[in-house]
Each structure stands twice: as C-alpha cells, then as structure tokens.
Structure 1
C-alpha cells in the first residue's frame, strides 16, 4: 500500500501543472511593480520609436506578463551598467545574452530561451583573415556582459580579447585599427550598422564561436520574481514560442533550445547514457576508426549529445549485419543511421529522415548514360548485403541480376575489373570513393527514381526515447547540415595540362605583340613630324599674341581714364540727400551681410551635422544591399523581403531629402518679417544639432512654457540660439565635462518673454564676461572661432528685436538670458 502511495506521489509531482502560482507569489504580484531593464540588443531586446520595449525576449516576457497580470515599468539601461543597476535597485529583471548560465552575485538566470550564433566581423578590405589560424595572436573586441567572455577565452587562449562597453565602442575600435575583428551575432550588429550608417565591415561566417544564450535575469533579492518567471516560461507552448521565433529571426542566425517535457527530462536524468550502434564501415556516412565513431552521422550525433547533455556510448560491431543484430538483442538503444523498412519495424521505431541521398549506378567510363535502368536486362549489378535497398531494388527491377557485396569498395573494384556491370550506391558514397581512389576509372551512368531516406533507429520498446530523438532531428538547422556535408564530401577534379594548346596561344599572343610594336614605331615617326610643325605654329602665334596684347593694353588705359573723368562729373552732380540715403542703405546691407557672415562662420559645424545625419541612411542603404546579397547567396530571397527592403530604402532617401530641406531653410536669408512660434523655433534649432550633440553624449533638457507667437525674423533668433548652444558644446569638449547638460527654459514675465539657456561646462572667467559680446573677441583658437557669434547675437536681440541679451555665471556653468518685449507678441 505504501508503495502505491509513493508511486502516486511521484506521478503527481511529475505531471503537476508547474505554471500555477502559489498564494505568496500572487500576493507578491499584487503588491509590486517589476522594473524591466532594456538594453539595445536588437532584435532580442530594445526600445522602439514609441519608447516601448520590443524584440524577441520582450515578446516572450509579454506572454508571462499577460498570463499573470504583472505590473511593469520600463527602464533604459546601458550595456556596461547592468550590474550597477541591479546593485542600486534600479531594475528587477532584464533580458541578458550570455555564453552560459554563469553564477552571479546580483541575480539569477532563468531557463535558456534562445541560442544565437556568433561569428567574426572584420574590415571590408581585410583579405588576410579566412580561418581561425589567421586570428591567432591577434586582438578582437567583444561586448562585456556577465559570463559572456570566459568560455571564449578558455577555448581560444591564443586570441587576445578586448572587452568593450557597447557595440559602438567595438565598431570604432575595429575601424580605427585597434582590433582585428569583432565577435558578435549578426542579428545584434545589423541594427547598429543600419542606424549608424556604418559601412566597411564584412562577416566571416566560417569563423564561428560558441553560440550566445538568451536568459531572463532576475534580481537575487526577489526570489518570488524568479519563481514566477520560471513558471511563466514553462507555461509557454511550443507553438507560441515558434510563432515569436519566426517573427524575429532567420533560422540560420538563431535557434530555439531543445524543449523537453518533464517526463523526458526525468527519463534522461535516470538513464545517464545512451548505447549507440553504427555501420562500422560506410564512409562518408559513418565508420568506426580507432574505437571512435566518425563521419557525417557522427557529427550529427555529437550535436545531439551536446543538446541532450548526456553521453552516447559506442557499441562496436564488426559489420552492418552485426549492428542490426545488436539492436534486435537490445544491446543498443539506437542505430545512428538506418532506413525504415517493414521488416525492421519488428524491433525498431524510426525518426523522421535527417539525411536523404539519391541512389545512383556506378559503371566504367566507357558506358553511356542510362536513362531507364529497367533496360539493364540480365546485367550483374552489385549492392551491399543487408542494406534496405537490396530487397527494394530486387522487387522493383526483377530483370536485373543482383549480386550481394560485403562492402562498397569490393563492388567498385569488381566493376573496375569487369566482373560486375555496375554497383548501386548513393551519390555521397560515390563522391567520397572518387575522392579516395576511384576517380578516373569509374563514372555515374544512371540514377534511380528512389532515394535513400535515412533516420535514427530507436528500439521499439522505448517510446520516450523515440520522442526525444524526433525533437533532436527537428532541431537540425540548414547551417548545420551544410557545414557537415562540406566537411565530408568534396570531389576533387584533376586535369592534364595541354602543352600543345599552351604553345598555340603563346604564338598567337607573340604575333599580336609584334604587330602592336610595328604599329607603335610608325606612329612614333608621325608624332615627331607633327610635333615639329606644332612648335613652329606656336612660335608664330606667341609673337602675334604679344603684339595684340600690347595694343589692347593701350586701348584699355585710354578707356579707364575716360571712365574715371566721367564718373567724377556724375558724382559731383549727385545731391547730398541721395548720398546720405545711399549711405544708410549701405549700412543696412552691411549689417545684413554681417549677419549672414556670422551664419557662414558656423557653416563648418553645420556641414558636419548634415554629414552626420546623411551618414546613417547612406550606410543603411549599403547594409540593405549587402543583406539582399546575403539572402540571395543563402537562397532566402523572396518577394516579401524585396518589398520590405524597397520600402525601407524609400524611407531612407526621403529622410535624406528632408534633412537637406531643413538645412537649406536655415541658411536662407530673411527677406520679410513673419509670424513664428517661439517653441517651434527652439525645437527646430535643437533638431538641426540633435544627432551631432548625441554623438558626444550631450543632453539637452527643454522646459518650454505656454507657446508665444512673435512677428519678426525667425532664422535670426534661431541663429542666436545656435550660437549660444554651440559655445556650450565647445566648452564641454575643451573641459572634458562628464554628464554634459544644456537646459533651455522659457516663461512669460509681464511684458516680456524670457528664454534662459544654461549649461554645466564650468562657466566663463569673470574677467572676460564683459568682453564676450565685443566683435572679434574669442576665447577659442584662431581656427575654431571668429569672435562674431555672440556680437551678432547681441545685435539681433537688442537692435532687430528691441530686446536684451545678458550673461552670468551660475553654479558649475554659465547662463544666457534673452528678453523679448511682449508688446510685439501675440498669444497663440
């Protein structure tokens, strides 16, 4: 009775719904808001344009949030500050990429939710790095995250790793030559290259590293949150996870981890190892060499072992027949590579096929191609004993005389000697055999309609093991298959050098060369004659030109004297009033010209801003072209993808056009006064410089009051704002200020609108404060400043706008105050 109760409790534990929350966990959700940290790891986790969390990991997390009705708040976190954010309680949870589930004093890793391939990226013009050997003793960059670097250092001790804080730093180090490459995932680096319009990088898919794993990392001080997240992950169905996976990834860039049931995990924990039988001599598919399993099937089995985490113990056999016998007697749990037949189902179950190989007929090279194999009446054809297609071909081709062979090599040798007309095998076996010894004497002369569909054979009394291996077979990626096939099968072709053709081609080119030399010599003679005649003509022309020039100068001098006297008479006839008016107009024009010159003094900075904003869409367009080429080479180019890339390209070119229009309007001189918004002018000015300031981590904080409309010259006020803000930027860079901040405040004070612009750049020397509005006075180097910016700002505000511009030092910086009379303003 006790035994029955014990069995009941065990099964209750194994099959209990692990997604149901305890009362304590429900109370925790009710009383807490989870602060979710988001770093820029597109498409795994990032903030979208609406400043909402987005990406694969956040879609997974959203399923858990909706299921348990968890309250959350999004927190933007820098890659290098993750541990600091946990330590200070700024975040409770963050999607994190890592090499392994490493221990951390700050938090706990959830179950693995994704594997992301990582490869090497190098500069576009670097042709010296092709393999792992080429990066030995070289320096590569990788973003520093908890547990992300240790395994690479262990596996590749001869590579020097430079830890960086983010992708921007890694790319900068590569482009400046500080490192030879970057280790990164293509799906993470792609968005950075597009948004920052970075070109000049190329991927090296053959230099791949251990995949990164994606986890949900929770604060160690909140164990209830960890438990809730784990239960949520266990509740997500394979269908839900697959839909999110297909939404975000190409299958060759990332892969879902093997998802086993509690029953399957308990089975593997108890089993410890799996006994495996193989064909001991069937290359390139597999064989036993020095007591080890090698070949195509062996590479798949190694991948399966890694995913399951338990060893496959090889049970050695002398031949294929003995391997089949071992499975019948249950000495083996699985047969690595076998074809499904009705007879074998008596003692084996079969997974879905994971290798498909066409059947071909190999004959001597003298045999012409055979289009219909049924015409081979009474021909002796060899096929290996106990192979599945032995009985199938006997049944489908009764007119062919089938001769059993112990081994493929035996059959091919008999075909060479003429003892057999042909040997039946797969195209992979032929490729390997030709590569080893038979190329030149034999050929493929025909192809069967049938294919060899090879699966994993599992003993038919173990259905749980069959389910596990079906999941393993389904997890095989196209990239894995391609790599394994490339490693084992490559037919080598050798051609005899045709010396007769070589000498014919050489003689032809010698003849052409002689004709060219003869033609060249004739041309040289004619050129010398023409040069002599040309020199004589030029001498005559120069003499004539000098005479004409002297006469022309005499006439010009006479004309100038006449014009001068005429001008004097006209000037004397002008009245005093007209001269005064002209002088006033000249002064106005000079003042407008000085304003424009002040703008032009900032032209270098503005052109830099234009270049900064154009560099992104140009690089994105380059990346789109590279991605289309990559998709095409991978065979993944379809109509939807082309349409998406076309839409993205149009958006980028429209962005470039808008940028040019914005800057063109800024430099257009004002002809007439017009109504304009103070707030719009401030926002537009900041928009022009925003990207440039962000690249230097300069933050601009706006606190704008109720909007006011003013009648005047909008671009002149914009120029004043730009002069003041740019001076702050220069001060930040000169003084190397940490956390640089510019604050812009507007408010209405009785009869004026007041604009306050302050910074934390250290302020201005008190002895210089009274001089900064003087013309041509500057504290910058001669090549960095003209001394006109603040002088013209003063003229614009106080003369053109009848306002006032002041400056004073404040704590840690300086503050400019602009007063504009409200008598000329209208509320919007």
Structure 2
C-alpha cells in the first residue's frame, strides 16, 4: 500500500536569522543548567527506544543542537495531551508538539514551524461505502487525542461523529472490531504499527485528507536563553543534515525536502519578471508547442517548477529542435526544458541533474529479427534525429554504424517504412505515441538497448544563480509528482490493460531458473565440504604412507638379522606388505577421482555465469516480444495472426535456451568409454560454451585449425582441459586490466601426434612460479576464486588418461600452453 503524504520541512529564523553563534550569556546559561525534554511516543517523530534513549526524526534534530552546543539534558516521557500541564507545573522545559491549535502563548514560545504532515482517512479493505467526504455523514471516526486535533475536526466537520482514542493502537482496534467506520491518522505514524502487527486489512483513502498536523518546538516562557539557543540551533542545521534525517526516517515516496533558497537566490528571483524558456516544438509525448502553448510530460514538470520558483516561465517559440539549441547559444533563451548533457553543448549551457531517464529502442520493419546490441548493426543505415545528443554519442561509440540524420521522428519512421534506412533509434514512449497515430501495421520495436537518454534542464552558462535554483527544484521532485505526470500522459493513453497471463508466465519461468541455479549452488556447496574433508584425509595419507612403508621395511630387516625368520614367514610378511600397499594405492586412486569431481564442481560457478551470457540475447528478445504485444494490445491492434507469430518466435527462443542447458549438462557428463572424436569439434564446442562470456569482457578468441584430425579418446575431458586454460587467461586479463585482450588457438598435425597451442597476451607467468603451476593446490588466486586444482587435473587428463604431454612457457606479452596427444590413442 502506498500512502501519499505531503511533508514540507523548513528551518526559518524568527529572531536570529543571521547567526548561529551563542552569546557569552547563553554559553554561561548552558554551563549552569540542565534542559528537561518532554518526549511523546509518536514514532517515527519522537519516541524512547529500547536503550531508553530519545529517538526519531524530531529527536535527531534536537540531538544535533544538543551536540553542537554541548547541552546537558534529561528526558521525561510525557503524553501529548499532558504537555501543557507539564510545562505549567515546571516539570519540563521544552517539548516537540504536533497540533492544529497551539497551546496558549502564556505558557511559552513556539519555534519556527518544522514539519507538516498530511493526515488521511483509513477504512477496512472491504469497505466500498466511503469514497468521499460526503460519505462520512453520520459515520463514527476514531481520532487520537492530540493537542487541538479533535476540537478542530469537530468544528470543521460537524456531520462526523468523532470517537476519541488515546493512541493509534486503540484507533486501529476499534476499526477492526467495527466500533467505528474509519480512523484519521498520518501514514508515517500508523505505518510502523500496521507492519509490526502484520495488519493488512486496512486501506488508505488518499483523496480524503484533513488539515495537516504541524510540528513545533515549544519552550517554557521562563527559559528565554533556551528559546534563543534553540532557534539558533535550528538555523545552524545544514541542508545536507536535513536530507540525511529524511533518508533515515522517511520513505522517499512519503517525504520531500523543501526548497530552501539562499538570500542571493531570493533577491535574484525578486528582480526577474520572467524566465525565457525554449523547448522542443515537436517531440511527443514529452513535449510539443500546440496553439502557442507548451504541452506534454515536460510541460507538466515545467509548471511544477514554475510554481516552486514563483517566477513565470515565458515560452519562446521555435520552429524545430535545432533552432531551440541556436536560441540557447545566442542567449535568446535562459532555459532549455529537456536536454542531454554532452561535451559539444557545454560551451554555452550548464545542466541540472537528469530528471527523466528514457531507454533507447530500435524501430524496424516487422520482418526483422530481434537485436540486443547496437554492435550487431554494423554497416546498417540507422536513423537518428538531427542535433539530438545520441546522434553524436552513437556516432563516436559505434563508428561502424552508418548514421542518417532525420529532421523528425516521423520522417525517420517513414524512411524505415519505405526501406530507405534499416531502423530508427528513439525512445519507447516516442514510438508508442507515433504508433498510436500511424505505423502500427508496418513497423515494430526490434530491440531495447542498455544505452539510455539522461535528460536534464539546460541553463545558459553565464547564469550560475539560475542553475542553482533549477538544481534545487529538480531535486525537490517527489515520486508522487513523477507518477502523476507519467500516468497523465502514458498510463491513461497507452496502458489501458496488461496481459497478466503472459506476464506471470514469464515471471514463473524466470523464477524456476533462479531456483535451479540456487539448487545447483547448494549441491555444489555440500560436495565441496565433503571434498575438503577428503582432501584432508589424502594429505594425512600422503604424509603417513611413506613413513609406514619405511617403518615396515626396517622391521623386516631387523627381524631378518635378529630372529632369522623362516623363509615362509618372510614371504608371508612381504605378501601382507604388498597387500597393504595395494590397498593404500587403490584408496589414493579413489581420492584422486574425488579430486577430479571437485575440480568439475569448482568450474560450475563459471559455467553458470556462461549460461547467463548465453541466455542474455534470447531473454532480451522475449522482453521485446512482450513490449510489442503490450503495445499493440493497448492500441487495440492485437490480432490472432500477429499473436500466433509472436508465440512461434517465443517458442523458438525458449527452445534455444533449453538446448543451451542440454549443451552444458552434456559437457559435465563423465566419459565412461573412449570414442572417436574430432579435435576441431572439441575446440569449437569449448569456444561456443564460453564465447558470450568472453565477448562481454571484449576478449577475442582466434582459432587456426590446420587439419581436422580424428582421435580415439575422451572428448569431454579434452574440452575441460581447454576450458581450464582459457578461463585462466580470462582471469589474468581481468586481474591485470589488459587492453585489447586476445587468445589464439592453433593446431599442428605431426606424424604421430596432434599439437594444440594456446597463447594469450595477458603478460605471462612469473618465472619463479611457472614450474609450480601444475602442482596440486598451487594457485595465485585468493581462496574464494581458485582451488589450485584446474591445471593439476588438466595435466593428469592429458598425460595419464590420454598418454600425451601438457606444458607451458612464457612468450612475448603472454604465455603459451602446448598439448601433445597421440593420434592413435588406445
């Protein structure tokens, strides 16, 4: 449930606006006095925590002042309704207070207003009878007895029956029990109670609101020094400190920092009769000039900004976007409403932080396959609007693309329709707006890219004060405001309904994949624990086996010399010794098999990452299919033929993902029997499995296969050796941040052997350790990233299982691994 709460915070000085420094009299007063604070239980504003310390948003404000001036304090717990009496009886000196009608001024002095909290009506979820204030006539409403609250409601809403309660808990219980029809509360106060007690049967009625509760500090009339110290302390709190408190205590969609202009900024705005505004005259749904008026999403933002700065924004009409940029260069405009920060514009504009982010999409003809990366469009003619920021960015980032300047989005889409260009780059909202009017039958969204339009307010660069003002209004935009503006121009017009069946199907499928990965991780973790134990046992066995053999041999020699055992007894002893040694050797072989399994399990983490890279393109394509179906459905253009075609495409993509899983599963199946296989196929299979993963790190793999040699042996084991060597190279590239990384795989056909050479440019291996890299448990990686078994197992596979040879040597800029395998391996 989302609550719409308007909270405005400002610290404005009443008596001491220009200074937060204390006088000598005030400093002396602090030394000689203890300040008694009356604290109420109003989470998250004020409360006493489990450590019996004051806590909450208001308490943190007090703590800043207390720390700044080193004030001695004492906390007293006081109910809200009892605060006036506690002040009158001199039991407390200061109290944070929420009220609509202030305590009589004869008791003390109020600080500057600190906080306003909007209060809304809550009803039971199933209650459909209350939708507006008119429906509250004759109804019983629970209201917590706070200072001034109940008299105010009774006076303003005479038809409502007010039920007085002592706290939020009592109000909620009365509503759940049916004793009242509704309750009035601030969402930020009721929220904690509902969450702690798992109450989900209530709903907020955000359109039925009451006058906001106001928060002040109230100081006893006899404490004049304390009054001035408190006010100076409030003035000393910085905007950064205020923001930190908001982030700590309030959800971002429930609280907004106010705009606090400096004196210089206020004087600047007072002198301005208007601020000249330039816009893009035709870029809907973001903005447009229609009948001499600025309309669209951005126009609504500008109206919000205009209201906050208090100076009219005067629209300067232009014929196109290029002219709007020219007007900013020549200072005919002060502000450009919606623009991206790029180097070429910084000579005449400054930029606020982005307030709208728009993903880039590619629009093509309907017969085009899905595209997940702009790199895949090499040598294609792509349209981008002239003088748009991404025209310049994409030209620089993708020099192989052929960029065509178009004057307007509609002109670009028509070129796509006529086949003059391959596709048009724009944003999803722009194309949705264009599809609503035309193009829906001939064009489609064929790709969604990682690149995004980051759009800011542009300010002429000779006016730094105006930049600071707009930076503040941009920072003040609430999530509520964003949602209202987007809903007005997008949700209502384009998102009338959603295909939830398809949505939940996709979510279910992705959830299954996540569970599969989690299960694989848990199995791997359990096996690694077992194998670590086996490793320890092997180490003990290795350390004791030789000693046992030597001891037994010495015992035999001693027995022969001293006891002159009979030949038959000696033979029996030797036989027993041979049996023991064979048993130990067999046990060691079993443990080595466990090591092989451990090595494979250690590789599974890398494999899961590779699966993710293999799935990235089909998942992106599925996302694009869903967007196209959603778009056509919202425009009432979704026919059976189109839906069937998209279903076939979706099935093909999911089948491709399924085949990927089969490929990786078969890769890990142990070879039980030797068989004839192609060296070329083994190399290509390994490259296929890791290609997407390596491409994501810009690692290039080149292969030169001289002859396709067929040998008799274990194909999967050879692939695992290649995989170990390649992934070691990748790790070296990433660790050393190598520019233009590449790996080269070559084969040479000798008379009786096949030679496979794998070289890289990762800087090579330190000569002091290169002879140790094939030893078990030797690794240069930390314990989390390496087991030290990969190259050891690779050498065992090549030299023991395949009667070959595996070696490594440093070459210029890198290392080269050499694999020799007999062709007639039996």
TM-score (norm 2): 0.49
TM-score (norm 1): 0.49
Structure whose CA Rg is larger: 1
